[in-house]
Amino acid sequence: MSGAICQVTIRGRVQGVGYRAWVEHEATRRDLEGWVRNRRDGSVEALFAGPEEVVSAMIESCRRGPSSARVEAVQEEAATSDALNLRRAGERFSVLQTI
């Protein structure tokens, strides 16, 4: 796969407000590959893979999130294709269990 692979951590009021479902919907709508999951520290972590401009637009959207969320910070870093292996077999984009 060519393009960008980026892992993001979103902090703020992002759990219990439909943030993971929103990320899954938005990423699927944009035809991105990857995954999203809650973390026990209250943040949400996601991995997006696809064309660089689409990944960048998705990360920008994560800075707002769904209307019920209050995003305080988005940390992003480059990732490798190995990180895509966390997805469930046969899925382009997965919602993973909390870690």
Within 8 A by CB and 6+ apart from 5, the residues are 34, 47, 48, 49, 55, 78, 79, 80, 81, 83, 84
Give catalytic status of residue 38 as yes or no: yes
Q: What is the dihedral of CA 60, 63, 66, 67, to 10 degrees?
A: -120
Q: How far apart are CA 2 and CA 67, in angstroms?
A: 32
Give catalytic status of residue 85 as yes or no: no
Of 11, 20, 39, 87, the active-site residue reads 20
Of 13, 29, 38, 63, the active-site residue reads 38
The set of catalytic residues is 20, 38
